[in-house]
Structure 1
């Protein structure tokens, strides 16, 4: 399509906008090292807590904590060098029995560390914790977790219980963020909550709206801090020439990852992170490279859709792209589920909160589309060649990042 008669004049008027977009592309590429660090083991952590009534004013708390973080944090906080040596050796040997034995041998150290940072209180009075049973081991997303049970003896209460978690705090220096995901059936109430440094406590009497907001913001934060999912979305936007295309692509992606997200939550589908994470990285590269291929195959004509469109305004290539996006969306759904450690069968207690978590993801996704796509549409109208350069550079940068991550994640298997 020939340039608009005033396209070159338009370029000068939107030069600042183009520069801003190019700076964004460079920033995304520069974030490779940051994102690579963020994906490293131990950079962030998730704690799982299940709290139920055990009768006679006793609350049963089952905790699952990342094993190596528990070892180094408890050993450092309690000055227990022996725990560090024995626990680290068991971790390096990947010996679950030795890991459990190391924690059992230093159970007082571990209990003291955990009891100071995970508390249950009633009417402003702290419950008294006592360990119940042996410490065992499990695995969450390929990472060893320690499992142990506490019985919290609480005073009588009419206002419910307050749960507070400051486990693996940022100032300890081993993580940059820890989320504690709590499911509970206590005080004739049941539900779930997400605790973090900014909001470390919740009450079993909290409202439905408060629970909704916690998981909605958790989902929004997950997408905003998940550079891989943002890059996938940017690749979809860059390769979409009309609003209809991005709406259909985003809808296909949303439906797909919602399906696997729910199936994972109910234990019907699971896949190891060692497979999911490389495929997510590869999906980013493929979707971005698809647009580069269109540019190479059609040249400047790639800025326009084929006129031979069928159902929903898509040609054969458009439908093929939609199918690919749907398939990759299924994999991304497993990635979203792994962010909450969803790999236990029939997690119905968390299901409602997971759906709200998904809504938070969608809100951010829609926000990114509303911010980026109109800018590209304006460029396409006022300066088609500039828009082609911007989207081409964006796609090239995203492809490079996706391939980098794919190789990195495969080599780390």
Structure 2
């Protein structure tokens, strides 16, 4: 076999690549698509009697069990509730919560509050506790009857359910729908903005959804890696603009359809497919540079829209995967109020927050990478390979994890 001389730059680059890939292999299994977060669904409306408010809550069953048991120091609820959870028996789950209703009531009282003109409205759980499945997760349904003593023109709802301080999840969001005080619409309650008043302006409510969308993309490592794969795989600015536009158009369409319950796909399909899309788009770049990985990328012969056949095919693949990513974005919002104009505007503002962050990432990352490719083509090639390789590895590991459940 002929002797091959390894250049120092290539050797150093290979060592860096190995180090990054090992790091990605170490951290990727522990990484989550959107973090260990939870979504609470709440709706409030006038009660049957004057001065009363009816609130309906949908809470993740297992979180409700462990949080209530932990904060109220009740071991029996934990034992009974987890046994019913492991058996996947909805009847037993509802029975466990009903048996320990005082404990559940005490926890909800601390974390979900309704007030009128600054005065608290004591609330009681009424009616049977129901069970349902949301995004493949069991949810417990509780109905609260809040006594506000007298009618009011403005009510305030505060939710700190499943707070970060409990140590079980981070970043819990309460999606609130309301039809109260002659106002109707939706709002997002987070740890940073835990309260909502029916007296708030439309601008304040939409700003909350804008922030929620921006935070959702920043907290969704899988979506960020997908975007990075698009950036490193784009040779010219027009390519990344086309790819980002196709991704935006696709996920916007399915985001709205899924969030308004017009179309849906099971999470068992959506989450693994999102992971696969990350690996595929990252591998696409590695395939393109396989002949000479250190050569400066050049634009191939251009035809339609300045893209060759491979570029157009990549665009179609990005669009298809973008449709599935839209389902992933919509999983953050599951409001049971299809085709409400107020809801649709809230969803569009949520999506706008996603897009602003996406544009920001492109505006920062692509020029830096383009500058490196121009000034130091070989190092620019290595950096692109390192990023694409890390993306492929993370996507592949997530795909296996999500398939295995």
Fold agreement, TM-score > 0.5: yes
* Aligned mate of 1:328, from 313, 321, 324: 321
Equivalent-residue separation in structure 1 for 2:74 and 2:292 (angstroms): 66
Mapped pair 1:146 → 2:140 = yes
Equivalent-residue separation in structure 2 for 1:209 and 1:254 (angstroms): 24
> For each residue in 1:341-382, what CA deviation from the matched residue of structure 2 results, as whole angstroms up to 9, or x when unmatched?
35x472635322111110010000000000000011111221
Mapped pair 1:306 → 2:289 = no
Change (3 A) 1:404 1:110: same
TM-score (norm 2): 0.91
What residue in structure 2 maps to residue 396 of structure 1?
A: 389
Equivalent-residue separation in structure 1 for 2:23 and 2:182 (angstroms): 50
Tell whether the 8 Å contact from 2:231 to 2:366 is kept in structure 1 after alignment. yes
Shift of 1:189: 0.6
* Aligned mate of 1:346, from 338, 344, 365: 338
* Aligned mate of 1:383, from 372, 376, 379: 376
Change (3 A) 1:352 1:106: same
Secondary structure of the residue that 1:199 maps to in structure 2?
coil
Equivalent-residue separation in structure 1 for 2:237 and 2:155 (angstroms): 49
* Aligned mate of 1:32, from 24, 28, 32: 28
Change (3 A) 1:214 1:135: same
Tell whether the 8 Å contact from 1:125 to 1:155 is kept in structure 2 after alignment. no
Secondary structure of the residue that 2:212 maps to in structure 1?
helix
What residue in structure 2 maps to residue 369 of structure 1?
A: 362
Tell whether the 8 Å contact from 1:132 to 1:149 is kept in structure 2 after alignment. yes
Structure with the higher fraction of residues in helix conformation = 1
Tell whether the 8 Å contact from 1:295 to 1:302 is kept in structure 2 after alignment. no
> For each residue in 1:54-108, what CA deviation from the matched residue of structure 2 results, as whole angstroms up to 9, or x when unmatched?
2511111000001011111112222332222111110000000100111111112
> For each residue in 1:167-221, what CA deviation from the matched residue of structure 2 results, as whole angstroms up to 9, or x when unmatched?
1122222222311111111000111111122221111111111111111111111
* Aligned mate of 1:60, from 47, 54, 79: 54
Is there any run of 5+ residues in structure 1 with no aligned partner, and where?
1-10, 12-19
Secondary structure of the residue that 2:186 maps to in structure 1?
strand
What residue in structure 2 maps to residue 317 of structure 1?
A: 310
Structure 1 segments of 4 or more deviating over 4 A?
20-31, 297-302
Tell whether the 8 Å contact from 1:115 to 1:129 is kept in structure 2 after alignment. yes
What residue in structure 1 maps to residue 44 of structure 2?
A: 51
What residue in structure 2 maps to residue 285 of structure 1?
A: 279
Tell whether the 8 Å contact from 1:195 to 1:201 is kept in structure 2 after alignment. yes
Equivalent-residue separation in structure 1 for 2:331 and 2:216 (angstroms): 11
What residue in structure 2 maps to residue 177 of structure 1?
A: 171
CA RMSD of aligned residues (A): 2.5
TM-score (norm 1): 0.89
Tell whether the 8 Å contact from 1:22 to 1:390 is kept in structure 2 after alignment. no
Trace 1:59-208 onto structure 2 (pairs within 5 A): 59-156=53-150, 158-208=152-202
Trace 1:214-229 onto structure 2 (pairs within 5 A): 214-229=208-223
Aligned residues between the structures? 391
Shift of 1:159: 4.6
Point out the more displaced range, 194-203 or 284-293. Answer: 194-203
Change (3 A) 1:115 1:138: same
